[in-house]
Amino acid sequence: MTRLRRRLATQAASILALMAMAALSACNVGPDFATPPTPEAKHFTPEPTASPGEGQRFAENRDIPADWWTVFKSKPLDSLVRESLQNNPSLHAAEAAVRVAYFNAEAQKGGFSPQIFFNSNDSTNLQSNDRALSSINQTIYNQMYPSPANVLYNLPVPNVQNPPTANYALLLKQFTISYTPDIWGGIARSVESAQAQTEQQRWQYEAAQLALTTNVIVAAIQEASIRGQIDATNHIITILRESLEILNRQYSFGSIAKADVIAQEAALAQAEETLPPLEKQLAIQRDLLTALAGRYTFEGPGESFQLASFKLPATVPVSVPSKLVAQRPDVRAAEAALHQASANVGVATANRLPNITLSANLGASAFKVTELFMPGTGLYTAAANISQPIFDGMTLLNKQKAAEAALEQADAQYRSTVVNAFQNVTDSLRALQADAKAVSTARKSEDAAKRNLDIVRMQLKYGQVSQIAVLYAQRTYLIASLSLVQAEATRLSDTAALFMALGGGWWNR
């Protein structure tokens, strides 16, 4: 037993020495990742960005709040956004994907440590007496002419004077230890790749939160827009009916022709015909809000929205361009994907280099449980294995080239994401500038159409205007009213789109 312990101590010292040498000589092959440089720019547009006007201005280098949707000053919207962030199942799936990637990365770290396993191999054997005696004779022969395996395992020999019975057991208990030094940093690069994937999932989760919030806001504004169009249509229908009553009275007095009455009836029918499609859009929009909130359609969204319930933010914060790359979740996700691709090149490179695996077994073997701890039953093995690919049909080389090509692809995708991010912000800025003009024009048009319709209706009472002028004034006012509602809704939606394009303020959460 003392000799066995000495051998084990000597072998353990050798293994530790090899491990130390491997650790000292370790290096990480492949490129070391560096964050790509940030585009330098003072403005998102070639010229300094002008504020939209019409009650709204841009505030450059102003930070975005975490709960940025509250700038619309709508309590129903605030309630619906928070409910959606809490209950939306797609967001839950994205959050779970982060945990999946995290624990996979933690699992990769196990490659840095020795692997220790316990094995128990017990067997019960039933043999005829002749086979048992033959086994005894073989054991005696092995003692007289020992083989390396017999010496290695130091198996006990049955007593020849007391032949075993036909039924006997063999018990084998051993610990297995193996360790692969990370000489070339292949394991380190694998962990780096897995951690980068975790970062990518995290930023994709942030992007999902931002997209969900924006979708809820835009859907709520769209519902308000549809309601506004329905209200405008109902208002013009009321006017058309009043005009029809006047024309009917005038016809009864014989002051106008029947054709004028029929023309007004046709105009009324056309206006009423536009209501069902709007009501259909409203119902579908309500279903969308219900789904975004994580509810079933039979539950409904719980809140309803009118354009009057939204307040247009007077001051819109616009961060400096140099901060956009750090603020956009999709850009950060693309950067993490680039990092992962860089680490994968190191993994592919390390797979082509020699690898060392150190292993050891320590245990005992006996015919009875009580004999497992007796002298002479111990066994051990210690081994070092070095493997070097010689010829694999260019498999590993091509995998390395594929990883390098994937790195180039990820780099191009990252640059494309950054370009699109700047485009999104610039498009939103220009859209708000155009929206301010559109709202101003639509408001003037609606006001003029309303004043003209009021005059025509007054003239209609006294028979001082033709039916063609009445129909034209009614139609003009209806179109102007709908255009104003749509322009105001578009301005609110584009404001939300700008907050989304700038990253949504997650860093202040």
Closest CA to 418 of 506, 330, 320, 507: 330
pLDDT greater than 70 at residue 381: yes
- Sequence-distant (≥ 6) Cβ neighbours of residue 22 within 8 angstroms: 181, 182, 183, 356
Give a yes or no: residue 261 inside a domain.
yes
Average pLDDT across the chain, whole number: 84
Of the ranges 66-80, 136-150, 293-307, which is most confident?
A: 66-80
Q: Which residue has the higher pLDDT, 465 or 260?
A: 260
Mean pLDDT in residue range 417-432? 94
Confidence of residue 96 (pLDDT cuts 50, 70, 90): very high
pLDDT at 322: 87
pLDDT in tens, 312-323: 999 998 888 888
Span 131-147, average pLDDT: 51
- Determine how many CB atoms are found less than 10 A away from the CB of residue 508: 11
CA 372 to mean position of chain CA atoms: 55
CATH number at residue 215: 1.20.1600.10
The answer to whether residue 381 sits within a structural domain is: no
Using pLDDT thresholds of 50, 70 and 90, give the confidence band for residue 144. Answer: very low
Secondary structure class of 155 (helix, strand, coil): coil
Q: What is the pLDDT of residues 318-341, one digit of tens each?
A: 888 888 999 999 999 999 999 999
Q: Quickly state the pLDDT bin for 361 (edges 50, 70, 90).
A: confident
Q: What is the pLDDT of residues 150-197, one digit of tens each?
A: 444 444 544 445 554 557 677 788 888 888 888 888 889 999 999 999
Residues 6+ apart with CB under 8 A from 391: none
Confidence of residue 141 (pLDDT cuts 50, 70, 90): very low
Q: Which of 255, 371, 312 lies closest to 72 in space, CA to CA?
A: 312
Q: What residues form DSSP beta bridges with 123?
A: 170
Do the domain assignments include residue 384?
no
Residue 392: pLDDT band with limits 50, 70, 90:
confident
pLDDT at 46: 84
Is the predicted pLDDT of residue 343 greater than 90, yes or no?
yes
Q: Is 146 helix (H, G, I), strand (E, B) or coil?
A: coil
pLDDT, one tens digit per residue, over 457-485 is 888 877 777 778 888 888 899 999 999 99
Confidence of residue 9 (pLDDT cuts 50, 70, 90): very low
| Pairwise CA distance, residues 12 & 151, whole Å | 19
For residue 207, give Cα distances in angstroms to 24, 91, 204, 493: 42, 10, 5, 18
User: Can you give the pLDDT at residue 256?
Assistant: 80
**pLDDT at residue 149 is higher than 50:** no
Percent of the chain with pLDDT over 70: 87
> Three-state SS string across 198-238, please?
HHHHHHHHHHHHHHHHHHHHHHHHHHHHHHHHHHHHHHHHH
d(C-alpha 366, C-alpha 168), whole Å: 11
Query: Lowest-confidence range among 6-15, 64-73, 432-441?
Result: 6-15
What contacts 196, CB < 8 A, 6 or more positions away? 33, 336, 337, 339, 340, 343
**Is residue 294 in some structural domain?**
yes
- pLDDT tens digits along 480-505: 999 999 999 999 999 999 999 999 98
Residue 28: closest CA among 183, 197, 194, 191? 183
What does the pLDDT read at residue 204? 96
Q: Cβ(348)–Cβ(396) under 8 Å?
A: yes
Q: Is the confidence at residue 81, as pLDDT, over 90?
A: yes
Most confident of 42-51, 56-65, 250-259: 56-65
Domain span including residue 500: 11-110+185-356+390-508
Q: Is residue 125, in this structure, part of any structural domain at all?
A: no
Q: Does any domain span residue 165?
A: no
Alpha-carbon distances, residue 428 vs 46, 385, 432 (angstroms): 15, 62, 6
Per-residue pLDDT for 14 more than 90? no
Sheet of 167-179, strand order: 115-126, 167-179, 355-366, 378-387
Q: Write out the two tokens for 363.
A: 């245990």
Q: Is residue 401 part of a domain?
A: yes
Predicted confidence at residue 362, as pLDDT, reads: 83
Residue 7: CB atoms within 10 A of its CB come to 13
Report if residue 118 sits inside a domain: no
Q: Where are the beta strands (DSSP E) in 284-377?
A: 315-318, 355-366
Q: How many domains does the chain have?
A: 1
Inter-residue contact 125 to 169 (CB < 8 Å): yes
Name the H helices within 109-185.
129-144, 148-153
